[in-house]
Structure 1
Amino acid sequence: MSMKILKTALIAAMATASVLAQTATAMSAELNILTWEGYATEGFISKFEAASGCKVTAAYVGSNDDFAAKLAAGGGVYDIITPSLDTVPMMRLAGFVAPIDTAKVEGSADIYPEFSQNGDVVAEGSTWAVPLIWGSVSLIYRPDKFASKPDSIAVLFDPANKGKISMWDDKSALYWTARYLGYDNVFDLTDEQLEAVKAKLIEQKPLIRKYWASAGELTELMANQEVFVSNAWTGLTSKDVNNLKKGFEVVEFTPKEKAEGWMDSMMLVKDTPNEECAYKFMSFMQSPDGQCGIAESTGYFPVNPKAVAGCMDEQMKKDRQVDNVEFVKSLVMWQQPKRLDKYLEVWNAVKAAP
């Protein structure tokens, strides 16, 4: 699907979404969130509900591509979405979201400016997203299944690991493969480079046990010993697998070609009938209960160092990169590809290949 067609479909779907929002029997004490696993767990959501009087209902995505698809389909009414930074521009351009009044978001001034002032977060003179959490995507493996510690993305393409490899079912597979092939311009690949990436991924397919759609699915694949190596959300899958105590451990590592970096933000869905609860939630997620709660639930890194000053010990602050935004510079931070439609075309072609 071309970017023009995609945008046209998304914008046209807004008419349906707007009607649904206006006709839905939404109460002022409701909040419907479209988000990721671990971002709406009972541990901290119950505190928000008790403090705000807003009842949270969460639906989950497995990929950033799901946000556009679910909103365009009009299958539900959402008040807040939490896409990654590379998807924020699309949500704005498609007209799915409204500008945010940061004066209504308590604690927003304490967010790392590297995130809060990002060119996709603040655009066209308005703020479109409130940073929520950030982290990296590294590699995870079973040390007991390898003679030596791997140090490269090459481990995902090694025939010796046939049938025990997994990768995230997402266009970011192109980024990983591009780095493996030595390309630095992973978000602006030429046609020739994209063809090489596609060919390598199709060549890899017989080695793949399964493309995982969610962190929970990867945890199951690792725990059930179906796969031994994959890319994974740093901190989350290793924690979940090792907590199951299956008689083995999994370990993360940063490949020599670098790990990826991401930042997820809260965006306000246009014409939400639950704006008051939405702003209360955005404020709560910048509080100690919100930032420490989601960091504990996911293993990811807080965006608000002031909020976690008293609810994290020094070791946890070190582990979660608190006051170490320089770490971002060591990562390949996600960006929306210059030719998003072409990237999606290539990834879909890879998945359709035998």
Structure 2
Amino acid sequence: MNRMKTVIATLVATASILPQVATAYAGDLNILTWEGYAADTFIPKFEKASGCKVTASYVGSNDDFAAKLAAGGGVYDIITPSLDTVPMMQKAGFVDPIDTSKVEGYNGVYPEFSKASAVTAEGETWAVPLIWGSVSLIYRADKVAGTPDSISVLFDSKYKGKISLWDDKSALYWTARYLGYNDIYDLTDEQLEAVKAKLIEQKPLIRKYWASAGELTELMANEEVYVSNAWTGLTSKDVNGLNKGFKVVEFTPKEKSEGWMDSMMIAKGSANTECAYKFISFMQSPEGQCGIAQSTGYFPVNPEAVSSCMDETLKKERQVGNIGFVKSLVMWEQPKRLDKYLEVWNAVKAAP
């Protein structure tokens, strides 16, 4: 528990300035989530059906959840962290357990997600799966020579000043795989030093560490970045949809892409649990699952829910029923020494 306190203190200390959020009232639902997860294409449908007003605040990294919850003083009702962050939210006491009997459509969720060890712990369910996907690599086809197939493109000096990475500790995972380390969530001190050295060596090549999908879209659309890691399906759709006269291409490197799954958790002591459960249930419905999949380009967690709102072509594109794809990814896990990983990533960013 002392280590958990250290991790939370580190996250709070390194977080950006936190926005002030008004105290919640009955019928209001404050959600701390990611871009695209509270889109106007489906949230108004929930509000009309439930009578609950949604106010969304956004994060750029999983590290933001602990920092904002620690500083926010009970202003959030639902958070949507990734699978690797769920255990920390539970162990830190930031969330309450979920009563799955109150979640309509829960039995339609892939058991590979709903029964994951990070989701169920100590005889309780702590999170309800929401959406999943992968993190692949993306590049400007007209600016990058040949057809890249490796993480090495992120470290290629030919693209100095045109490379970007997500501003997140996962930069360590990408670099560890590039260096040939297999157990990327339990790196030794020596391996972490090598990863840190490689990332510091890379820094002169970096245009910017991006904080959100929207920021990466702008960087690529404005021709500031040619190569980056990116949310599979989202950035390429957004950039190519701008019709800038060039195309960006996604690919899975030979070292594998990363996989993630985001879940809904109820913030501890929420005064709006009735609205919270209505929202969690809505997000397992066809309107919720197809809505968030449409707004983000990611993959639904409830194949039963999308059976009536996705055609066969779209189901194939969004990996519906293809759990084998999950097994092809390096799924996110909480590092064994999270505090050490955060220390290394912060040292990289602080380096000149």
SS of the aligned residue for 1:39 comes to coil
Structure-2 separation of matches of 1:336 and 1:76: 25
Moved more, 298-307 or 68-77: 68-77
Residue by residue over 1:120-147, the C-alpha shift from the partner in whole angstroms, topping out at 9 and shown as x without a partner, is 1000000000000000000000011123
Partner of 1:113 in structure 2?
111
Contact 1:164 1:228 in 2 (8 A): yes
Alignment of 1:234-273 (within 5 A): 234-273=232-271
2:283 is equivalent to residue 304 of structure 1: no
Structure-1 separation of matches of 2:74 and 2:274: 19
Alignment of 1:11-22 (within 5 A): none
Partner of 2:16 in structure 1?
none
Structure-2 separation of matches of 1:149 and 1:75: 49
Is the alpha carbon distance of 1:51 and 1:170 closer, same or farther for their aligned partners in structure 2, counting shifts above 3 Å?
same
Is the alpha carbon distance of 1:214 and 1:255 closer, same or farther for their aligned partners in structure 2, counting shifts above 3 Å?
same
SS of the aligned residue for 2:259 comes to strand
1:73 CA drift (Å) = 1.0
Structure-2 separation of matches of 1:152 and 1:189: 21
TM-score by length of 1: 0.94
TM-score by length of 2: 0.95
Is the alpha carbon distance of 1:110 and 1:164 closer, same or farther for their aligned partners in structure 2, counting shifts above 3 Å?
same
Structure-2 separation of matches of 1:8 and 1:52: 34
| Letter matched to residue 303 of structure 1 | V
Partner of 2:139 in structure 1?
141
Q: Which runs of 5+ in 1 are unaligned?
A: 13-19
Structure-1 separation of matches of 2:55 and 2:132: 23
Partner of 1:32 in structure 2?
30
Alignment of 1:3-14 (within 5 A): 3-6=3-6
Residue by residue over 1:241-264, the C-alpha shift from the partner in whole angstroms, topping out at 9 and shown as x without a partner, is 111111111110000000000000
2:211 is equivalent to residue 213 of structure 1: yes
1:7 CA drift (Å) = 5.8
Contact 2:160 2:206 in 1 (8 A): yes
Contact 2:8 2:66 in 1 (8 A): no
SS of the aligned residue for 2:49 comes to helix
| Letter matched to residue 268 of structure 1 | I
Contact 1:132 1:266 in 2 (8 A): yes
Q: How many equivalent residue pairs? A: 343
SS of the aligned residue for 1:226 comes to coil
Residue by residue over 1:254-290, the C-alpha shift from the partner in whole angstroms, topping out at 9 and shown as x without a partner, is 0000000000000000110100000000000000000
1:4 CA drift (Å) = 4.3
Structure-2 separation of matches of 1:176 and 1:146: 19
Structure-2 separation of matches of 1:236 and 1:8: 30
Contact 1:7 1:94 in 2 (8 A): no
Contact 2:83 2:261 in 1 (8 A): yes
| Letter matched to residue 333 of structure 2 | Q
Residue by residue over 1:31-56, the C-alpha shift from the partner in whole angstroms, topping out at 9 and shown as x without a partner, is 00000000000000010001001000
Partner of 1:17 in structure 2?
none
Structure-2 separation of matches of 1:229 and 1:76: 39
SS of the aligned residue for 1:292 comes to helix
Is the alpha carbon distance of 1:4 and 1:287 closer, same or farther for their aligned partners in structure 2, counting shifts above 3 Å?
closer
Alignment of 1:190-209 (within 5 A): 190-209=188-207
Contact 1:28 1:276 in 2 (8 A): no
1:8 CA drift (Å) = 7.2
Match of 1:291 among 286, 289, 292: 289
Is the alpha carbon distance of 1:249 and 1:5 closer, same or farther for their aligned partners in structure 2, counting shifts above 3 Å?
same
2:317 is equivalent to residue 319 of structure 1: yes
Moved more, 77-86 or 139-148: 139-148
1:29 CA drift (Å) = 1.1
Coordinate RMSD, CA, aligned: 1.7
1:76 CA drift (Å) = 6.3
SS of the aligned residue for 2:256 comes to coil
Moved more, 231-240 or 74-83: 74-83
1:75 CA drift (Å) = 6.0
| Letter matched to residue 92 of structure 1 | Q
SS of the aligned residue for 2:180 comes to coil
Aligned identity (percent) is: 79
1:27 CA drift (Å) = 2.8
Structure-1 separation of matches of 2:140 and 2:152: 16
